[in-house]
Structures are given as C-alpha cells and as structure tokens.
C-alpha cells in the first residue's frame, strides 16, 4: 500500500522528525529511527534523506521509492557556497532540483525549520491530523496487529485479576504472600507480562478507591478491599508499533448495592453503544445517547466541591499507531466508517 498525501504536483510534503516519536512519519515510511531525518513526497515520489549511519538499513527496510545520502547532498550544498549546511539547506537542494516552492507540513512541524524555509522563500501550509486520511481506516493487516496487541493485553490483565482473587482481605486492604497488594505491584506484574509478549506499556493505570475517581490517576499505594479498582492498560506492540486499549473495573470483597447499580448502568450503556458501532454511525450521537441514559438513571454530571463528578470524558476513540487517534466517539464526534477501530469506554465517577 502506497502511503502518501494527495497533493498538487507543485506542492511537496515535508517531514523533519524522528519516526520513533512521529506516527505519521512511521506510517509513511515504515522505518523506525530514534533521530530526526528528512522525508519528502515530490510529484508522487516518496523520498528519504538519510545519514551514512542509517543508509543501508533504510534502503532495505523503508517502504519508500528512493533513499538519498545526506552526506552526498551536504557536499553538493557546500559546493554551492553553504559553509555548514543544516537540514533545511539539504531540503533546499533537493527541492530546488525539483523546482518546488510550496510545502505541506504536519501541524507539529518544528518552528525553527519553518522559519528558515520561509526565509528561503518557501510557502508552508500546516495540516492537522489525520495528516494521512487513509490512516483512519485500517487495513486487514493493521487490524491483525491491533488484535495481537489486544490479546496480549487481555492475557496480562486476566493474570492480574487472578492475583487479586488470591488476595486476603485484612480490614480495608488486600494482602498477598504476607504483603499489602499495591497499585505499583500489580502494574509491574502487568507490564512484565506484556513485555513477555513483546508489548511495551507506559502509564498503566491500576487505581483503587478515591484514586479511581480520577480517570487518569495511575494509582499508588495499597489497593482497597470492598471498593472499585480500575484497570486501564494500553500497551504498544514492540514489533508492529500498534496499540491496544483495555479498561476494566473490579472489586475484591463485598460489593455494595449502589456500586452494583453503578456498574450495571455503565455496562448496559456500553453494550448498547457497541450495538450502534457501524458504518455511517455518528460518534457524537452515540456519545449523547450514553449521556442521556446516565442522566435518566439519576447519575448527574458536574462540579461538586471543586471536583468533576459523573461522566466527563468521551465515549471512545480510534486506536492504531497512536493510542488516541481519529475517529472520536464524543461530544465533537466523527462519522464512523467500515475499517475504523475504536474503543467504547463510558464511565461514572463519584467519590465516597
């Protein structure tokens, strides 16, 4: 599959970034590099400009049409009178030969490079995500990659839940093997399990009690008995670079009637929303339907004592080379298409 933007012949696409951090650049080149490199799309041709260190690997691994030598172009720039060529000078040499003066760049394109290009007379037009619209609709290969990461996540979380089942309840805390069960202990367990499946997890959430009322609190300290414990695990495959995303709420101990009702309300809303995920569905309307369902059940959303309570985040988002990407199932919303991979993760959050 050729990954490129649809542009006019006199407009080139330009990235100067590290594909290890920039998912659009990795998508375009399928080449992983920790240091910035130059990538251009010129009149339908996809070109990388690489250092001597990365030349051979880029030529064998990257899914582009041509890989040019940075050092060779650097020598050419010096012969043109540029004493110490920068990355922008290298881009200028390539574009000058192609007679291109207009550029399409990602919204996060470095300001210093943009300023230097403008000084040389180039016109730049930034483009917001999705920079490559085709990224939003996943190929069967991409779906398989996401599914593999998801299965590894499910195994790790299931194993962590098994640990909690073995835990003893002592007062208001959970104990296992003579030690308190902490958020840190369970997160480490999950992350190691994921590493065994070639997945790398960062910011894994295992938060209990009051901490669970803050959706992005990663959790710390002893996990409580008889109260909600939220798991939110979203690792990236070290081989495919695609993410998985999994949220679960569990309780070890006695469950109050109110917690049971809260859980059932969220679960029923989630299951209803999943039935609405289809080609042509409106993500905003799906989200609004969940909000209305929660309100009807008596669960209000708003600021109480300086803290948000109720349902105050989106229902879902796309998953792929980024953990959060288009489309959105939220108050802003997106029209869903066949091939989208999305989460459906409503929640209700009330301290106490």
Cα 197 to Cα 149, 155, 157, 190: the distances in Å are 8, 10, 13, 11
Cβ neighbours of residue 16 closer than 8 Å, sequence gap 6 or more: 36, 37, 38, 39, 87, 91, 109, 110, 113
What is the percentage of the chain residues whose pLDDT exceeds 90?
95
CATH class of 11-135: alpha beta
Is pLDDT of 7 > 70?
Answer: no
Q: pLDDT tens-digit profile of 182-219?
A: 999 999 999 999 999 999 999 999 999 999 999 999 99
Half-sphere exposure of 322 (CA within 13 A, CB side): 18
Condensed to tens digits (0 to 9), the pLDDT of residues 302-337 reads: 999 889 999 999 999 999 999 999 999 999 989 999
Count of helices and strands (H, E) across the chain: 9, 18
Query: In CATH terms, are 11-135 and 137-255 the same topology?
Result: no
Distance of alpha carbon 22 from alpha carbon 346, whole angstroms? 29
- Give the separation between CA 101 and CA 150, rounded to whole angstroms: 44
C-beta separation of 247 from 231 below 8 A: yes
Contact by Cβ (8 Å): 74, 51: no
Q: What is the pLDDT of residue 344?
A: 98
Q: What is the pLDDT of residue 9?
A: 84
Architecture of domain 257-352: Alpha-Beta Complex (3.90)
Taking residues 37-49, report their average pLDDT: 97
Q: State the Cα–Cα distance between residues 221 and 284, nearest whole angstrom.
A: 37
Domain 137-255: give its CATH architecture.
Alpha-Beta Complex (3.90)
275: exposed, middle or buried (C-beta count within 10 Å: 0-12, 13-18, 19+)? exposed
- Residue ranges covered by each domain of the chain: 11-135, 137-255, 257-352
Q: How many CB atoms lie within 10 A of CB 290?
A: 23
Per-residue b/e over 93-117, b at no fewer than 16 CB within 10 Å? bbbeeeebeebbbbeebeeebbebb
How large is the average pLDDT for residues 28-50? 97
Whether the per-residue pLDDT at 46 is higher than 60: the answer is yes
Q: Smallest Cα–Cα separation from 122: which of 107, 100, 90?
A: 100
Query: Taking the model in full, what pTM does it have?
Result: 0.93
pLDDT of residue 2: 55
Bridge-based pairing state of the strands 307-309 and 179-180:
unpaired
CA 115 to chain centre: 29
User: CB-based contacts of 141: which residues, under 8 Å, 6+ apart?
Assistant: none
Compute the distance between CA of residue 154 and CA of residue 159 in angstroms, rounded to an integer: 9
For residue 352, pLDDT over 90 is answered with no
User: What does the block give as tokens for 139?
Assistant: 């190929």
Is the pLDDT confidence value at 1 over 60?
no
- pLDDT-derived band at 165 (thresholds 50, 70, 90) equals very high
Residue 4: pLDDT band with limits 50, 70, 90 = low
Distance CA 156, CA 143 (A): 20
State both tokens at 258: 């109110």
Q: For the chain, give the mean pLDDT.
A: 96
Residue 139 has pLDDT above 90, yes or no: yes
pLDDT digits (tens, 9 = 90+) for 260-311: 999 999 999 999 999 999 999 999 999 999 999 999 999 999 999 889 999 9
């Amino acid at each position: 599959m050729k990954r490129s933007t649809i542009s006019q012949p006199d407009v080139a696409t330009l990235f100067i970034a590290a594909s290890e951090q920039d998912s659009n650049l990795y998508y375009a080149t399928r080449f992983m590099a920790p240091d910035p490199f130059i990538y251009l799309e010129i009149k339908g041709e996809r070109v990388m400009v690489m250092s001597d260190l990365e030349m051979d690997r880029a030529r064998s691994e990257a899914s582009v049409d041509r890989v040019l030598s940075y050092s060779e172009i650097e020598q050419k720039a010096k012969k043109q009178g540029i004493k110490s060529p920068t990355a922008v000078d290298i881009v200028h040499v390539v574009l000058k030969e192609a007679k291109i003066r207009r550029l399409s760049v990602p919204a996060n394109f470095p300001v210093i490079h943009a300023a230097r290009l403008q000084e040389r007379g180039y016109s730049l037009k930034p483009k917001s995500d999705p920079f490559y619209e085709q990224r939003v609709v996943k190929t069967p290969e991409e779906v398989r990659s996401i599914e593999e990461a998801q299965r590894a996540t499910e195994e790790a979380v299931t194993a962590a839940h098994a640990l909690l089942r073995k835990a003893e309840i002592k007062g208001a805390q959970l104990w296992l093997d003579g030690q308190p069960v902490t958020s840190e202990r369970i997160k480490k367990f999950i992350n190691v399990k994921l590493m065994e499946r070639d997945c790398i997890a960062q910011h894994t959430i295992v938060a209990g009690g009051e901490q669970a009322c803050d959706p992005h609190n990663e959790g710390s300290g002893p996990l409580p008995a008889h109260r909600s414990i939220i798991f939110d695990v979203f690792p990236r495959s070290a081989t495919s670079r695609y993410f998985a995303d999994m949220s679960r709420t569990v309780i070890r101990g006695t469950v109050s009637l109110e917690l049971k009702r809260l859980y059932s309300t969220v679960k029923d809303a989630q299951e209803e929303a999943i039935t609405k995920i289809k080609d042509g569905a409106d993500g905003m309307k799906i989200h609004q339907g969940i909000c209305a369902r929660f309100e009807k059940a008596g669960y209000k959303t708003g600021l109480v004592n300086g803290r948000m309570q109720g349902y105050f985040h989106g229902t879902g988002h796309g998953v792929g080379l980024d953990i959060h990407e288009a489309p959105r199932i939220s108050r802003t919303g997106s029209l869903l298409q066949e091939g989208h991979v999305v989460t459906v993760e409503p929640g209700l959050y009330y301290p106490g």
